[in-house]
Structure 1
């Protein structure tokens, strides 16, 4: 065994402190030095901070990732984690660098041939970001799984890249599943990519859906918002003031008028179109009776369809409220479920009256600064009040469970309350369920037509499973020796058909995947010869890197649970196995 910590240009904490002291003695205060350091980091990571914020970056910088396999796929994954500032990583790989690696793996060089692949990859990866720490181990995966299973339990997440043995993946999954550490298995094989995420329970605190309706409570405004709306007298305003009223206030005022005239709020699309026209008529007019171009009224009209409607708890949150984990809290329940229970109690109780806590977030809008800040403060005060009510329920739940009241802090509760509409819980199946006895695969291989790209990608999945069985039986990958290519293709077809029979695929899938079709795919996979194409490895590496960041930060909803990439047709398909 060999273990190594690779030095890189980053200064240690002690060196940084010493440097700060030297700068202080030369005229710069410690506060100025620290501010400059923070500013440097903000500039360095500016683009990603806009995606996942300071709290997401902090989670990334604390994360410890274990990569099994410094293959082209594995190093591409780490590249996409090292660049944004991963805390630390450890590469586990017993292989040495061979000539063939130079054609697909950018993180080994000709000078590294004969040396350990893990050492070369660690050294070159660390050159990309001095903030990251890295080490490597040259143990085999077999020895670590058999003799040191606790080794893997020290990581935030474990990534298994291009591991050919299903048995080893199963054994690794059995180590990680009980302790709740996510496993991401992936492979770039010829012109096919495969990704599998395994997580027993993953909590998303900011799902950030592409199209979401911001809950401004226009249909059920809270008293403070009503008071602000009532304080605005459109008839007594100057032209300038009229054109700077925030669109939220405009909509509230005109909704009140609409309800007085019609008896109810606009709920159907047709009603909303009419209401939009009703709002548009509220613009000031010149002496000739022509409406003035008021940007705030234009914003109000554009916002009608998305923001005017009946406020309700999103279906995803209702599912969380109905989850047994929300009902059956114990002293071992994660914080997530305790807060979800408190939010549910708030929502169904008198404080929420059927609504989630107010988020306090407002969209950008045309307004003068004073009016916007006033509106913003009203929403923020209501959000703080709702969060305080949820926190009181959290404290009571903690007491009931025998936990300390401050087990969950007020700041944590505020964070959850602010994102109450975007909380998610992702549970995947275990590898045992997919690869073991009583496989769950057959249920995911249904509902295809012959021209469906998903059918084509499902066949690639079947062939990759056949490759694993081939490797298990022969000890080599199909097509590795050119002279046995045809024989390997025939044998691979047999393995694929046996696999489909073993997992019990439905007759419809078996009819689509007839002898000729399976034979064609088997020949193509045998032609790959177990080689990696860098462009495929880069695609898989980029996708896995993105999914790992989702898992680390708790932001955006990760894949559940399998993705197959066909580089020949440039298509991807997701499956739940």
Structure 2
């Protein structure tokens, strides 16, 4: 887009030419507008192509914001074109002729008359058949008319550039180009306040899938919607329509197909007045390319990856592929770099949003299009290209005055990926820390897949972490939290940096940090990794804080080295026993006389409650309230119950009653409170919450427990805009866990019987755990500080001078107090483990710190986001002595184990 090249220098043009050529692009279509400086930039572009000595071409694409109402306007356009007809880098292309003529195109122009009686006469007499240009060019414009209207341009144009073919525009605009009557607008109306599965199903039918949701799959509505949309991504339907349009000798008509990665523009009425998008999800860029390349299928085994068979496609009819665009950032579809100083306000479209990774895919697909077969990928060319938006689809900017974007109803929150591999492999794309992931076996060189974008980043960005003290391991833990965007961390340490610290902690400034605050120096190093994170150094002694400022400690989500707990729950309830207020409401509705609009908006659970109560009254032969017991059991009863619901309809298309019929199974499906939820009720009793259980979760559990006692069941609502996400949650509910940990002050490593059992089943893991527990206890007694490198040789707190053998004996004696009498320690393993603890009880090697830092940070993220299950054992009802949940690591023999 020449209109975006005002700050370009000749070198900028040359750089673009070289980059594009190296990415498989053969030339630039120069979209030229009305600005008086643009002819000079066009001249620079042609000159750069010539200077490059590359086989790189240019051609004009006249943007008909240029005047086109008079004959003089036509003369100006002819002058622009004739200037470059003989340039050595002018693209020359003619189908069906040995004489290749200079190619000229347009953006729009379907209303230009150039002072003549009609558009056709204007283009014919004043442009293509004018003596200045007649027989001197191949004219392939992009006229925005229906394919069946192209026949009027017979003898005027030499082909068609289907500019809109790059996107499934029919999803977000109607035949007039308006978004008000588009399919996305129809969806928005269907998904209003009264969303129903059938509404989504009907929209899927509108898209042509013929699929509707079934009662056995409550998520199928939106899933069928996504499947339906995927049929439009990369489609060549509009290409076929233009190719079949008769504009003279169709065998000689040039056809230019469009390919584009995105289209989003958001300008208000005081600017360009453009606020819309074209759907570009589900790998539009790669799928569109693939639809224009001869279809290929892999033959044979893995060793035959490059053997393919060619199948028919429209590729034989496509002469040129035009990528939209190189640099049009105002519509978000640029694939090249944005050069030079931009107009004020343009930075919001470009800053931090480099799109040049598209060129990596362009090179691959462009080669395939030109050769008619996909190129092989060598091992040093392997790559994965990943893309996504920078915000959720439903996001609204707080200071945005333009309004919501028409078409956004169809946009998905996901990350998309394409792999280019040299051989088959399994590729996993995972969003950290949200835990959304997708895995695919990639048998071909190129493979596309996606993963839903998670919403857990907000939890990390709002988290507050306290780490004590500022050791190498502590800073390695924080490194793995600061990089992904932790909200706040505090490092507490009242010690100064020693030589040992400077030697083993990469986040300190070497010898320059010695003698300075260890906490302050650690924070300074960590902040260099991500200045968007808030980091604070606290030089107080932890003992002082515990005595005088415990409330401050409670302001943190997690204190590292402190065992906390992770809690979550799932509770599903159904329609078999409605609570009294709901039953009274359902039976009070005058279904036969109420307004027809209100009748069509009765929520389907209310319909089910009403139908079931009427069924029970008839069965019990009572006129008043039924016993509230019983539901259809036999096939005949269930069929009759559904017919009863249909008979309640007053119009044939009342979707709420259709959904009630589809969900009728809830009336005979028994519901119970899951056992793990009952464990929660036991853990969080109905008594007044203590300070340790005063979280909102505990309050909700208490309220839920009281509700279940009085109301065993209640309707379950599954409709609504977020129904798909809710069903994803339900699908994964089997993985929910409730965990409880021990207080840190409890030095006892576990019950004696449990530890003895672990020694027999996991001797190494148990021995290391016991040795570290014994060391911690000896440290608390003041014995172990002798070998602490931070203690000076004259430390008066040391109770005695102990050699390593004595310390091993002390460790062994201490461990035996943790075990039942007569329990044997694994002799060989214990000798090595206790010897290591005695030799260097608090050593902090950089490699060890880095590994442990990553592992602990991973556990912290699990606890913040509440998705993956932390290292644990037992469940909510387990006592402290019944669960351990300890990860033991041996970096000498390189293994990990769980106790």
2:499 aligned residue (96, 99, 121): 99
2:891 aligned residue (556, 567, 570): 567
2:855 aligned residue (535, 543, 546): 543
Distance 1:487-1:47 versus aligned 2 partners, 3 A rule = same
1:203 aligned residue (567, 573, 597): 567
How far off its partner does 1:132 sit?
0.3
1:476 aligned residue (780, 786, 795): 786
Distance in 1, matches of 2:725 and 2:504, equals 56
Superposed, 1:135-150 pairs within 5 Å as 135-150=536-551
Residue aligning to 1:429: 742
Distance in 1, matches of 2:520 and 2:789, equals 29
Q: Report if aligned partners of 1:489, 1:526 keep a CA contact under 8 Å in 2.
A: yes
Residue aligning to 1:155: 556
Q: Report if aligned partners of 1:490, 1:522 keep a CA contact under 8 Å in 2.
A: no
How far off its partner does 1:517 sit?
5.4
Can you list the C-alpha shifts for 1:482-508, whole angstroms capped at 9, x where unaligned?
Answer: x9xx963322222223323433x1246
How far off its partner does 1:527 sit?
3.2
- TM-score under structure 1 length normalisation: 0.51
Structure 1 residue 556 and structure 2 residue 868: aligned? yes
Residue aligning to 1:526: 838
Q: Report if aligned partners of 1:433, 1:440 keep a CA contact under 8 Å in 2.
A: no
Q: Report if aligned partners of 2:771, 2:815 keep a CA contact under 8 Å in 1.
A: no
Count residues in correspondence.
Answer: 366
Distance 1:328-1:423 versus aligned 2 partners, 3 A rule = farther
Structure 1 residue 72 and structure 2 residue 492: aligned? no
Distance 1:318-1:135 versus aligned 2 partners, 3 A rule = same
Distance in 1, matches of 2:347 and 2:435, equals 30
Distance 1:475-1:346 versus aligned 2 partners, 3 A rule = closer
Distance 1:343-1:423 versus aligned 2 partners, 3 A rule = farther
Distance in 2, matches of 1:59 and 1:378, equals 23
**Structure 2 SS opposite 1:91:** strand
**Structure 2 SS opposite 1:48:** coil
Question: Which ranges in structure 2 are unaligned for 5 or more consecutive residues?
Answer: 1-342, 354-387, 393-413, 416-428, 437-452, 575-602, 609-633, 637-668, 794-800, 873-884
Q: Report if aligned partners of 1:317, 1:424 keep a CA contact under 8 Å in 2.
A: no
Structure 1 residue 464 and structure 2 residue 865: aligned? no
2:517 aligned residue (108, 113, 116): 116
**Structure 2 SS opposite 1:204:** coil
Q: Report if aligned partners of 2:497, 2:515 keep a CA contact under 8 Å in 1.
A: yes
**Structure 2 SS opposite 1:426:** coil
**Structure 2 SS opposite 1:90:** strand
1:325 aligned residue (670, 679, 684): 684
Distance 1:531-1:434 versus aligned 2 partners, 3 A rule = closer
**Structure 1 SS opposite 2:491:** strand
Q: Report if aligned partners of 2:435, 2:868 keep a CA contact under 8 Å in 1.
A: no
Residue aligning to 1:446: 756
Greater CA radius of gyration, 1 or 2? Answer: 2
Residue aligning to 1:57: 457
How far off its partner does 1:56 sit?
2.5
Q: Report if aligned partners of 2:569, 2:677 keep a CA contact under 8 Å in 1.
A: no
Residue aligning to 2:55: none
Structure 1 residue 500 and structure 2 residue 795: aligned? no
How far off its partner does 1:78 sit?
0.6
**Structure 2 SS opposite 1:66:** strand
Question: Which ranges in structure 1 are unaligned for 5 or more consecutive residues?
Answer: 1-25, 160-184, 186-196, 208-214, 228-258, 262-308, 361-375, 385-414
Distance 1:357-1:31 versus aligned 2 partners, 3 A rule = farther
How far off its partner does 1:57 sit?
2.0
Residue aligning to 2:696: 335
Distance 1:488-1:563 versus aligned 2 partners, 3 A rule = farther
2:482 aligned residue (82, 104, 124): 82
Distance in 2, matches of 1:479 and 1:49, equals 36
Distance 1:513-1:506 versus aligned 2 partners, 3 A rule = farther
Distance in 1, matches of 2:788 and 2:852, equals 21
Q: Which has the higher contact order (CA 8 A, sep 6+)?
A: 1
- TM-score under structure 2 length normalisation: 0.34
Q: Report if aligned partners of 1:470, 1:478 keep a CA contact under 8 Å in 2.
A: no
**Structure 1 SS opposite 2:850:** helix
Distance in 1, matches of 2:566 and 2:468, equals 22
Residue aligning to 1:490: 805
Can you list the C-alpha shifts for 1:247-300, whole angstroms capped at 9, x where unaligned?
Answer: xxxxxxxxxxxx979xxxxxxxxxxxxxxxxxxxxxxxxxxxxxxxxxxxxxxx
Residue aligning to 1:210: none
Q: Report if aligned partners of 1:92, 1:138 keep a CA contact under 8 Å in 2.
A: yes
Distance in 2, matches of 1:382 and 1:94, equals 47
Can you list the C-alpha shifts for 1:398-455, whole angstroms capped at 9, x where unaligned?
Answer: xxxxxxxxxxxxxxxxx999987665432212133334xxx744244132465x4x32
Q: Report if aligned partners of 1:104, 1:533 keep a CA contact under 8 Å in 2.
A: yes
Distance in 2, matches of 1:145 and 1:517, equals 38
Distance in 2, matches of 1:30 and 1:535, equals 42
2:723 aligned residue (368, 371, 380): 380
**Structure 1 SS opposite 2:756:** coil
